[in-house]
Structure 1
Amino acid sequence: MLVKDIMQDIGETKKKDTRFTNRLIPFHDVCSVSSGDIDNAIKSAGKEYLKDGSQAAGQKFMGVVKIRNNNTVNKESIINSIGDIFTKNHTVDLNDPDFTIIVEVFRNVCIVSVLTDYIKLRKFNIFGLFSGGFAEPKKSIHKDP
């Protein structure tokens, strides 16, 4: 993924090649703002983590939802949808997730991403990564199997 490669390069070299960019938000799927479309976009973006018997089964995940300039969708309902979709094969861990599901709603557009190293890359914030380098995740409260 191009954005992840850019963020890793900034973290390793401490050289910022962007002038007016603060945050890069990669996305896997874009949809309209309705609960059915958002659920389908989440399933589409996270399809490799939803396969039964795959190597990804049993991993830890975290959901991040941001809603701006929209009053038609509810943050809690999107978080519940993410939980309903992914908790069948995975566990929730907000401190040290293996992958992160990001749902961003702006007006009538919804962007969905499934990312690894979200915490390590400082939530894809360029200035945070440039000044502080890679972040160490907090200790997980879950015991590894």
Structure 2
Amino acid sequence: MGKNKRKGGDAQGAGGKKAKTDIHKVGKYLPGGFPIDPKMKGVLVTCTRGKEHSAGQEACDLLAEYAAKLYGSDFSKEPEEDEDESVEDAIAREIAQLKKPKGGKKFLPLMTGTDCVVFIRAMEIEPSKMCHYILTDLQKTASKRTRYCHRFIPVEETSYANMDDIESMSTRILEPFFQAENQEPTTFSIIPKIRHNDKIPRDGLVKSLASIVGNGQKHVVNLTQPRYVILAEVIKSICFLGVAEDYDSLKKYNIQSIFEAAQKEEGTSSSAPEPKAVPEDKVKEEETEAAASAEQTPEEAKSE
């Protein structure tokens, strides 16, 4: 009799070893799938390779801390426990709270299935304002505060990665920045980044966003020091859109770069030579000469 063939189950490669699953091709609702939907907002975090989960929790903790400063100490508090809650439910709730980040349900890390990128869903914050607030404070205090997180990219909204949905979302998100009432001309640039998606053309995305920004306005593209930078990140089937201010002065919203620049500036200022002290007798001599010349009449000065 021949050997029974295994039906279904996991696919096997050569040597009977289990074939690896490509995390970029798994279905959305399968283990390791893509858990990000349209109409979400939050912060896209880049991080050290292989440390996505640690970076996600680290980012949630930092966001929760600054949200309390920006929106008030009650922002990240969890609802009070129910008086009628059973002992078993209370224990289960406490165990769940120990396992989740300090930010609770208001900051939820979602894996993107992409190396070095984590999305923090945060539906109750203003992402552009929050990221600018955090990075400005880290720059002032010259503190790093993170071990694995690199960049904080504000995401005002997400949409499906097709041009129609992206244009609809962009019109809505960019209006407060570029199409407000009595809008003054400003400067901007667009930085697109596309991962694991071959349907969205980079040039087409830039042209579409630029046309929305410039619709009836006199805004000017500035690639060196723009007031606003539009960040369009496409990962798989989702587009993440955000707007950043002071992008260049805040080192492209890179926490590590901000910290290194602050440390370098601090080292330069501390190593600057102190002004040489002038001997006391020399000072008195110069003061005497100045007083004598002040007492001279114009004729005496001329005769000298």
Q: How far, CA to CA, are the matches of 1:103 and 1:14 in structure 2?
A: 28
The percent of aligned pairs where both chains have the same amino acid is: 26
Letter aligned with residue 80 of structure 1: K
Specify the SS of the correspondent of 2:149.
Answer: coil
Alignment of 1:96-135 (within 5 A): 96-133=225-262
Alignment of 1:60-139 (within 5 A): 60-88=187-215, 89=217, 90-133=219-262
Q: How far, CA to CA, are the matches of 1:120 and 1:5 in structure 2?
A: 13
Specify the SS of the correspondent of 2:154.
Answer: coil
Moved over 6 A (4+): none
Letter aligned with residue 193 of structure 2: K
Q: CA deviation at 1:52?
A: 4.8
Q: State whether structure 2 residue 135 is matched by structure 1 residue 7.
A: yes
Return the index of the structure with the highest Cα Rg. Answer: 2
Q: CA deviation at 1:20?
A: 1.0
Greater helix proportion? 2
Compute the TM-score of the two structures, normalised by the length of structure 1. Answer: 0.85
Q: How far, CA to CA, are the matches of 1:40 and 1:121 in structure 2?
A: 29
Q: CA deviation at 1:82?
A: 1.4
Q: CA deviation at 1:19?
A: 1.6
Q: How far, CA to CA, are the matches of 1:123 and 1:11 in structure 2?
A: 12
| Higher-RCO chain (CA-CA 8 Å, sequence separation at least 6) | 1
Unaligned runs of 5+ in 1: 134-145
Specify the SS of the correspondent of 1:23.
Answer: strand
Kept in 2, the 8 Å contact 1:62–1:101? The answer is: yes
Q: How far, CA to CA, are the matches of 2:204 and 2:160 in structure 1?
A: 16
Q: CA deviation at 1:96?
A: 1.2
Q: Which residue of 1 aligns with 2:158?
A: 30
Specify the SS of the correspondent of 1:25.
Answer: strand
Q: CA deviation at 1:29?
A: 0.9
Q: How far, CA to CA, are the matches of 1:78 and 1:110 in structure 2?
A: 11
Compute the TM-score of the two structures, normalised by the length of structure 2. Answer: 0.42
Kept in 2, the 8 Å contact 1:101–1:113? The answer is: yes
Q: How far, CA to CA, are the matches of 2:181 and 2:141 in structure 1?
A: 39
Specify the SS of the correspondent of 2:234.
Answer: strand
Total equivalences in the alignment? 131
Q: How far, CA to CA, are the matches of 1:130 and 1:47 in structure 2?
A: 33
Q: How far, CA to CA, are the matches of 1:115 and 1:22 in structure 2?
A: 16
2:167 equivalent among 39, 43, 68: 39
RMSD of aligned Cα (Å): 1.2
2:149 equivalent among 21, 28, 38: 21
Specify the SS of the correspondent of 1:64.
Answer: strand
Q: How far, CA to CA, are the matches of 1:115 and 1:43 in structure 2?
A: 16
